[in-house]
Every structure is written in structure tokens, then in C-alpha cells.
Chain A
Amino acid sequence: QVQLKESGPGLVQPSRTLSLTCTVSGFSLTSYGVSWVRQPPGKGLEWIAAIWSGGSTDYNSALKSRLSISRDTSKSQVLLKMNSLQTEDTAMYFCARLRGGPYVMDAWGQGASVTVSS
């Protein structure tokens, strides 16, 4: 079955770089795109970035200068890097499969909690 699982450091110091990995199973990254979405504690959802099945990428313009999304199809992994982290980047970070229309996310991982603190 379709599964996505996020992994990351949990705690990151301010101004450092966050690296998150989304490991997928049950589908191929060359057939489906993957997005990252985050949710600060008690707040709403914010789309971060996407990598499409053909390898092209898209970023939230508000965060673009700090972001990099890539993939390793041999490992079924999508990687997200965000630099210059601040306390407002504290959030749950989700990866999700794209299907059913552009930017429609039909399967989600459980999320990776990221706290930015010294």
C-alpha cells in the first residue's frame, strides 16, 4: 500500500540548515510527484515545495531562497533542505503524494516534528 514516512533531526539550532527525508513505498517517484507541507503548532497548513514525477521542482515563493528539494529514485526518497532556520520555522513537516490534479495531495506521511531552538 501507499506509504510515506518523514524523518529528520527533531531539534535544530537557529540559523542552521534543516534536512528532511521522505521515504515512500507502494508507488514510484517517477510516476507521482511529492510535496512538502508544514503546520506550526495549533495553526494551519502551509505548502512548501514540490518535486514532480519528471523531476521538475516548484517552491513557495515566500521561502524559495531558503529551500532545496531533490530526490533519489533508487532509494525512493525525497529530500528537503531549508537553511537559515528561525523559531517561526518550528512546525510539523509533512510529505504527501501528488495525485488527482495539480497540487492535490492524496496520501500523507505521519509528519516530522521540527523545533528550532538553541
Chain B
Amino acid sequence: DIQMTQSPASLSASLGETVTIECLASEDIYSNLAWYQQKPGKSPQLLIYYANSLNDGVPSRFSGSGSGTQYSLKINSLQSEDVSIYFCQQNYDSPPTFGGGTKLELK
């Protein structure tokens, strides 16, 4: 199985700040990388697919980048509603696997 390693595991940032979350795959996943946001007590929601494609309705302050084994999610101008856990997921090979998650809190 492809292992997905996310960093950092937790992150504290101020409103208006820019934050970046990293995801490292154990092998090349050819940009088959999705990001999900999970708010407390809710189900995950798709933010980005194919590394940099924004899902419908997702604010443009979210962006994704990367290739090969290294990917990142950037959130510009952090808002209070962005407090969540973020997961990356490779969808290149079965079984699809998730990173361990990054818990984003407000400072």
C-alpha cells in the first residue's frame, strides 16, 4: 500500500495568516492527490482533487500544488471557519490511502 505522511500533525495560526500543509507519498502518485477538510463532528468534505483542482464551491483561498511524491495545501488569509482537520489522500492506486491528518487551530 502507498503510505501518505502529512506534516505538521497540528498547526496553530492567526486569522489572516497563510498556512501550508505538506503531504509526502511513499512513491510517485502522478498528481492523483486529493485534500479533504473535516470540521469537528462532521464528515470530510472534498477541497481539491488531482493535486490542484478546486472542488465546486470551495473558496479560492484554498490551493493545492505538487507532483511526484510531494504535495501541499495552502490556505491564504485564514478564516475562523477554516478550523478543521485536513487530510490528504492518494487516489492513484488501490487501496486509496489517507495521511494521518493535520489539525488546524486558531492562535
Residues on A lying within 8 angstroms of B by beta carbon are 37, 44-47, 58, 60-62, 94, 96, 100-111
Do B96 and A44 touch (CB < 8 A)? no
Chain A contacts of B99 at CB under 8 A? 44
- Given known contacts A58-B94, A101-B32, A44 and B101 CB-to-CB distance under 8 angstroms: yes
Do A46 and B98 touch (CB < 8 A)? yes
Do B49 and A100 touch (CB < 8 A)? yes
How far in angstroms is the closest Cβ of chain A from B67?
15
Chain B contacts of A103 at CB under 8 A? 89, 91, 94, 96
Main SS of chain B's interface residues? loop
Q: Which of B11-53 contact A (CB under 8 A)?
A: 32, 34, 36, 42-46, 49-50, 53
Do B96 and A47 touch (CB < 8 A)? yes
Q: Complex Cα distance A44/B50, Å? A: 21
Which residue among B1, B95, B97 has the maximum number of chain A CB atoms within 10 Å of its CB?
B95
How far in angstroms is the closest Cβ of chain B from A96?
8
Do A45 and B87 touch (CB < 8 A)? yes
17 more A-B contacts (CB under 8 A) besides A96-B43, A108-B45? Answer: A37-B44, A45-B101, A46-B98, A58-B95, A61-B1, A94-B43, A94-B44, A100-B53, A100-B55, A102-B91, A103-B94, A103-B96, A104-B50, A105-B46, A106-B49, A106-B55, A109-B43
